[in-house]
Structure 1
């Protein structure tokens, strides 16, 4: 069975790029461009993994990540956060993400991280 990945970003170009990349790798991809749609998308899509930008339309991806990780229903879903912030700033993050990658992200690194988290 193909693994399902929920991609959350308010940048439509980034969403489409990730959709093409992940679909080509055989993943089933669901896109969300508004933070208000994340909760219902998780319930409806039941993802195996979430890739989410930190800076969303009206929310902070780190806070959303922690809410997901603190719910017993979704705590086991691996989350990769993407950010345009510097590596120094990334190292200062205090959140429960399974991985944090810089943007623009290296697609090979992203795919390797996804593969590792889905094992």
Structure 2
């Protein structure tokens, strides 16, 4: 059975690009643009890994991440945060994510991080 990735980003281009990369790499993927769909999809889809953009509409992906990490039902799910922040600024991001990566046209590093987190 393929591992499941849930990806939340308010940018449809990123959802399409990364979603296609994840699918091509053999993962089952659900992509959503709005935070309001997250809870019900986490419950029904049961992802093995969640990817969140740090800036999601009017919300903050760090807060979403921290809420997921304190809930007993979701604390075990690895979370990767994506950001357009510079690498220097990423180090200042405080949240309980398992990884924080800069958005990049090359998804190789992201796919490697996904594999490493799912293989733990």
Tell whether the structures are fold-level matches, with TM greater than 0.5: yes
Aligned residues: 119
**1:106 & 1:38 partners in 2: Cα distance?**
26
Residue 56 of structure 2 corresponds to 56
Structure 1: gaps of 5 or more residues: none
Shift of 1:106: 3.1
SS at match of 1:52: strand
3-state DSSP class of the match of 1:100?
A: strand
Query: Which runs of 5 or more residues in structure 2 are unaligned?
Result: none
Q: Normalization by structure 1: what TM-score?
A: 0.96
Give CA deviations for 1:3-52 in whole Å, capped at 9, x if unaligned: 00001100001001111101111100001100111111111110000111
TM-score (norm 2): 0.96
Pair 105,94 (structure 1): closer, same or farther in 2 beyond 3 Å: farther
Which residue of structure 2 lines up, in the alignment, with residue 82 of structure 1? Answer: 82
Task: Give the structure 1 partner of residue 93 of structure 2.
Answer: 93
Q: Give 2:26's aligned residue.
A: 26
Structure 1 consecutive aligned stretches of length 4 or more whose deviation exceeds 3 Å: none
Instruction: Give the superposition deviation at 1:86.
Output: 1.1
Q: Deviation of residue 105 (structure 1)?
A: 5.3
Greater Cα offset, 37-46 or 2-11: 37-46
CA shift at 1:104, angstroms? 2.2
SS of corresponding position for 2:59: coil
CA–CA separation in structure 1 for the residues paired with 2:88 and 2:73: 32
**Partner residue in 1 for 2:17:** 17
- Output the CA distance in 2 between the equivalents of 1:106 and 1:76: 28
